[in-house]
Amino acid sequence: KKWVYLFTEGNASMRDLLGGKGAGVAEMTRTGVPVPPGFTITTEACNEYYARGKQFPEGLWEQTLAALKVIEEQVGKKFGDPDNPLLVSVRSGARESMPGMMDTVLNLGLNKETLAGLARLTNNPRFAADAYRRFVQLFGKIVLGVDGEKFEHVMSEAKGRDRQDTDLTAEELMQIAETFKAIIKEDAGVDFPEDPYEQLRMAITAVFNSWMGRRAVDYRRVYKIPDTLGTGVNVQTMVFGNMGNDSATGVAFTRNPATGADELYGEYLVNAQGEDVVAGIRTPKPISKLREEMPEVYEQFSQIAKMLERHYKDVQDVEFTIERGKLWMLQTRNGKRTGMAAVKIAVDMVNEGLIDKRTALRRVQPEMLNQFLFPIVNPAAAEHATRLARGLAAGPGAAQGRIVLDPDEAAARSEQGERVILVRTETAPEDFHGMVASQAILTARGGLTSHAAVVARQLGKCCVCGCGDLEIDYKAGAVHVHGTDVILKDGDWITVDGHSGWVYAGQVETQEAEVIQVIRGQMKPEDSKLYGYFTTFLSWADEVRRLGVRANADTPTDARVARLFGAEGIGLCRTEHMFFEGDRIDAVREMIVADTPEDRRRALAKIEPLQQGDFEGIFEVMDGLPVTIRTLDPPLHEFLPHGDREIEELAHKMGIDVATLKAKIEGLREANPMLGFRGCRLGIEYPEITEMQARAIFHAAANCQARGIKVHPEIMIPLVGDVSELRMQGDIVRRVADEVMAETGQKIDYLLGTMIEVPRAALTADKIATIAEFFSFGTNDLTQMTFGMSRDDAGRFLPLYVERKLLKDDPFEVLDQEGVGQLVRMGVERGRSTRPDLKTGICGEHGGEPESVKFCHRVGLNYVSCSPYRVVIARLAAAQAVL
């Protein structure tokens, strides 16, 4: 079996076999880009290594040696030859680049003899010593597992206070290398391997082993990457960026990954090797400086960058090294980018004719559009701000606040009007109140599924998690930034950028997102380039998608926002929110407390004109677009106070005695309110409520029509489990509609439908559709009832389910396609079996979650409805469902 491929034998389509890095260097080699020769050991070899109980597969070593021979001939050097030594790097590379995989070992092949040869050959003993020092350090740390700090400590001792690593002499570097070897001997208990072939074998083994290392395994669990992919191993001729001032190493993006601007963006270090640039050993220079320092190399580099971009038709993230004025490319891959950059680049590339619109739409993850809407760190201010540390961008937005380490204190201080940022090693459910009270959450440990990240996303709150450079000392009330002498104190200002993961010292100016400014009318659309890109991109999504997108909106204000984001109607208008507004609650309470239908009607009569006004407002804004209005849903006790004092006050206000009111409240008490007296059950016991609401809706509609505004109300009865419930409520609605139409002489075009949110409704959807003209799947309740988990209580145990992988996702966030989804599918099918033109939609929060939206497309819903701010996400997800 072929386990080893020369770079000249591979290409970009062999990612699975060669890993991302291997396929990338092979493709570059193929297209004539200067790449140091080398070969890749396949991911299959890695899998076979494990299958054989951690033994090299049959023939692997022989093939490796043979490939090495080819390389030796190509470059005219010999591995282990003191007179003309070939040195190589050993680089891991799975299909997806993955934290936790083995870091690269450079300069492999050095020992006492080859070192002397290298010094002689290059006539540069200092360079040779530097290469040796690096090799011993990397090999010791990466292959032999010695704590890297120990080496770094020796280095910084040797440099002293004001020298850089480039200032160390050959003798000093040799001394350091010897010290490193002593450390290795003591720590790992082995002599440093002198035989280059032994070094190579050990390094390859270490790469294989790192595939099953804990960090890599954890990462794959989180991102659901199968263990069976395996990693490739790349063995590549060394080129040296550390041969003097005509040598350098660097990284660059072919476009700016933060803004999407069409410019080379990157950094390099002169006289440096490997990861020096990223490791912050010295401050690197911006790539634009290379144009001055090495104009010819720069010219060649920017041409290669452009060429690679055209070749891959996407932004490339490249690594390069310059050896004595000669440019070598070491890596290329599609560059990660922010949401803003992703959209701009996609639109630009379509305009440049590089990709088509469909490809553009596929390039942006729907959630990324969020980044257009949340507050941002002012980019100019960020340039000058002090960056403290960087973690994972876990929750959107940007926030300034004072550091608080304790959740109780965060809650207390925020109560007093202080802006605080909760900084914790990690968070736990009992910290929730403190998290809610904070402007942002910052943690030192935990990934994107840690408690902090999950809660932050739920709250739509700015969050940076897993910021490993922060050491939090709760006792001292201080945060130490690792590797620096910065110590932050409780109460110090910091700024957290949830888009980039950066944490800044002090108050860095933030601003409202441009798109929001435009939508609010605070900025002209033509003044915002971002807005232009945003709307262009979304218009392409609208061209391809078939699924409608509506918004859940309860007020004219929400409705207006929804329309500006492109909603094509309202899929859920909850009337109970109107009941809470202002002093309407008094009338509502009167209604609840009323003893007779007459009393109740009297109370309702006070609410009716107010509701009617609300509906008119919404109809006006929606101007002919459909508006789905749900009749009253929540448990009645939510409208009544529960504390003794509040009850007394209310009784007094209402002119009834305290005991009576208490008895009423007592009578409404339920053990499981979410499964109790709510939804259509209210309207069944109190038909006059439904009647009043229907009248308010139809009068509003008639009034609007009289003023020339088109209206399409869709009246939706909630929590129906049996067709009889819908029939009873529907009769009321239809009767009132007829009355209002007769009374006003207006013909109103309306639909009567129901929510499908009780499993029984999905099961009997064919019957329900005999009456319902539309279904809206209320997947929040449907999920609760299908799982038998109350959303209000699930916070106690559900996170554990997700953490322990009992459930892939929180089903309240991502629609459970396997279970709940089956009910949706069945509901649609059965409903349409009796009413082929049945309109179907979803109005649970899943309506704004991309995977769920795609599911809705697949089962043939007519539309999804989600919160106004998620409408754009749904529009893109709906388009991607078609692609």
Binding-site positions for Mg(2+) read 757, 781
Q: Are 216 and 227 in contact (CB under 8 A)?
A: no
Instruction: Tell me how many residues contact ligand ADP (CB under 6 A).
Output: 18
In terms of C-beta density within 10 A (0-12 exposed, 13-18 middle, 19 or more buried), how is residue 704 classed?
buried
Active-site choice (463, 843, 856, 866): 843
> Which CB atom, from 89 or from 880, has the smaller least distance to ligand ADP?
89
* Interface region with ligand ADP, contact rule CB under 6 A, candidates 2-10, 134-142, 233-241, 838-846: 233-241
Query: Residue 239 binds which one of ligand ADP, Mg ion, none, with CB within 5 to 8 A depending on kind?
Result: ligand ADP
What is the smallest separation between the CB atom of 20 and ligand ADP, expressed in angstroms?
9
- Is residue 100 helix, strand or coil? coil
Q: Following DSSP, what letter does each residue of 389-400 receive, concatenated?
A: EE-EEEE-SEEE
Strand bridging mode 863-866 / 839-842: parallel
Query: Residue 399 binds which one of Mg ion, ligand ADP, none, with CB within 5 to 8 A depending on kind?
Result: none
> Is 274 a residue that touches ligand ADP (CB under 6 A)?
yes
What distance in Å separates the CA atoms of residue 249 and residue 247, rounded to the nearest whole number?
7
Tokens representing residue 538 in the block: 């979304």
> Is 275 a residue that touches ligand ADP (CB under 6 A)?
yes
Query: In this chain, which of 15, 77, 78, 91 binds ligand ADP, going by CB under 6 A?
Result: 91
What distance in Å separates the CA atoms of residue 633 and residue 635, rounded to the nearest whole number?
7
Q: Are 217 and 224 in contact (CB under 8 A)?
A: no
What is the smallest separation between the CB atom of 210 and ligand ADP, expressed in angstroms?
11
Query: Residue 249 binds which one of Mg ion, ligand ADP, none, with CB within 5 to 8 A depending on kind?
Result: ligand ADP
* Interface region with Mg ion, contact rule CB under 5 A, candidates 177-185, 329-337, 702-710, 857-865: 329-337
What strands lie across the sheet with 231-237, from one edge to the other?
A: 4-6, 38-41, 231-237, 88-94, 105-108
What is the smallest separation between the CB atom of 711 and Mg ion, expressed in angstroms?
60
> Which CB atom, from 106 or from 737, has the smaller least distance to ligand ADP?
106
Query: In this chain, which of 321, 427, 612, 776 binds ligand ADP, going by CB under 6 A?
Result: 321
Q: Following DSSP, what letter does each residue of 334-387 receive, concatenated?
A: EPP--HHHHHHHHHHHHHTTSS-HHHHHHHS-GGGGGGGTS-EE-HHHHHHSPE
Query: In this chain, which of 238, 420, 594, 720 binds ligand ADP, going by CB under 6 A?
Result: 238
> Which CB atom, from 104 or from 754, has the smaller least distance to ligand ADP?
104
> Which CB atom, from 104 or from 111, has the smaller least distance to Mg ion?
104
Backbone angles phi, psi at 629, to 5 degrees: -110, 125
Residues 85-114 that bind Mg ion (CB under 5 A): 103
Instruction: Tell me how many residues contact Mg ion (CB under 5 A).
Output: 3
- List the end-to-end C-alpha distance of the chain, in Å, as a whole number: 38
Show the binding pattern over residues 37-76: x = contacts ligand ADP (CB under 6 A), - = does not. ----------------------------------------
> Is 276 a residue that touches Mg ion (CB under 5 A)?
no
Q: Are 877 and 858 in contact (CB under 8 A)?
A: no
> Is 247 a residue that touches ligand ADP (CB under 6 A)?
no
> Which CB atom, from 285 or from 413, has the smaller least distance to ligand ADP?
285
What is the smallest separation between the CB atom of 71 and ligand ADP, expressed in angstroms?
11
Show the binding pattern over residues 390-429: x = contacts ligand ADP (CB under 6 A), - = does not. ----------------------------------------
In one-letter notation, the amino acid at residue 618 is: I
Matching residue, tokens 């294989």: 208
What is the smallest separation between the CB atom of 79 and ligand ADP, expressed in angstroms?
14
Q: Following DSSP, what letter does each residue of 838-861 receive, concatenated?
A: -EEEE-SGGGGSHHHHHHHHHTT-
Query: Residues at the annotated binding site?
Result: 574, 630, 757, 778-781
Q: Are 440 and 461 in contact (CB under 8 A)?
A: yes
Q: What residue is closest to Mg ion based on CB?
A: 331
What lies within 8 Å, CB to CB, of 23 at 6+ separation is 10, 11, 12, 13, 14, 15, 17
Query: In this chain, which of 40, 124, 199, 249 binds ligand ADP, going by CB under 6 A?
Result: 249
What is the smallest separation between the CB atom of 233 and Mg ion, expressed in angstroms?
14
> Which CB atom, from 81 or from 576, has the smaller least distance to ligand ADP?
81
> Is 36 a residue that touches ligand ADP (CB under 6 A)?
yes
Q: Following DSSP, what letter does each residue of 212-241 receive, concatenated?
A: TSHHHHHHHHHHT--GGG-EEEEEEE---S
Q: 462 catalytic, yes or no? A: no
Q: 843 catalytic, yes or no? A: yes
> Which CB atom, from 44 or from 323, has the smaller least distance to ligand ADP?
323
User: What does the buried/exposed string (b/e) look like for 846-856 if buried means 16 or more CB atoms within 10 Å of the residue's CB?
Assistant: bbbbbbbbbbb
What is the smallest separation between the CB atom of 103 and Mg ion, expressed in angstroms?
5
> Which CB atom, from 259 or from 331, has the smaller least distance to Mg ion?
331
> Is 231 a residue that touches Mg ion (CB under 5 A)?
no
Backbone angles phi, psi at 587, to 5 degrees: -65, -40
Tokens representing residue 243 in the block: 């041969």
Query: Residue 721 binds which one of Mg ion, ligand ADP, none, with CB within 5 to 8 A depending on kind?
Result: none
> Which CB atom, from 243 or from 578, has the smaller least distance to ligand ADP?
243
- Nearest residue to 137 (alpha-carbon basis) of 95, 170, 179, 100: 179
What distance in Å separates the CA atoms of residue 851 and residue 869, rounded to the nearest whole number?
17
Show the binding pattern over residues 281-320: x = contacts Mg ion (CB under 5 A), - = does not. --------------------------------------x-
Query: Residues at the annotated binding site for substrate?
Result: 574, 630, 757, 778-781
Show the binding pattern over residues 330-369: x = contacts Mg ion (CB under 5 A), - = does not. -x--------------------------------------
> Which CB atom, from 103 or from 323, has the smaller least distance to Mg ion?
103
Query: Residue 43 binds which one of ligand ADP, Mg ion, none, with CB within 5 to 8 A depending on kind?
Result: none
What distance in Å separates the CA atoms of residue 64 and residue 321, rounded to the nearest whole number?
25
What lies within 8 Å, CB to CB, of 391 at 6+ separation is 442, 443, 444, 464, 465, 466, 467, 468, 470, 501, 503
What distance in Å separates the CA atoms of residue 766 and residue 832, rounded to the nearest whole number?
7
> Is 319 a residue that touches ligand ADP (CB under 6 A)?
yes
Q: Following DSSP, what letter does each residue of 141-184 receive, concatenated?
A: IIIS---HHHHHHHHHHHHTTT--GGG--HHHHHHHHHHHHHHH
> Is 108 a residue that touches ligand ADP (CB under 6 A)?
no
- Is residue 448 helix, strand or coil? coil
> Is 330 a residue that touches ligand ADP (CB under 6 A)?
yes
Q: Following DSSP, what letter does each residue of 810-845 receive, concatenated?
A: -TTTS--TTTHHHHHHHHHHHHHHH-TT-EEEE-SG
* Interface region with ligand ADP, contact rule CB under 6 A, candidates 231-239, 461-469, 508-516, 857-865: 231-239
* Interface region with ligand ADP, contact rule CB under 6 A, candidates 100-108, 477-485, 502-510, 803-811: 100-108
> Which CB atom, from 234 or from 552, has the smaller least distance to ligand ADP?
234
What is the smallest separation between the CB atom of 278 and ligand ADP, expressed in angstroms?
8
What is the smallest separation between the CB atom of 103 and ligand ADP, expressed in angstroms?
6
Query: Residue 238 binds which one of Mg ion, ligand ADP, none, with CB within 5 to 8 A depending on kind?
Result: ligand ADP
Q: Residue 766 CB: number of other CB atoms within 10 A?
A: 17
Active-site choice (451, 499, 699, 846): 451
Q: Residue 642 CB: number of other CB atoms within 10 A?
A: 9
CA distances from 475 to 440, 442, 479 (A): 22, 18, 10
- The vertex-305 CA angle with 299 and 306, nearest 5°, equals 95
Binding site for Mg ion (CB under 5 A): 103, 319, 331
Interface with ligand ADP (CB under 6 A): 36, 89, 91, 97, 103-104, 106, 236-239, 249, 274-275, 319, 321, 330-331
Where in the sequence numbering do the catalytic residues fall? 451, 843
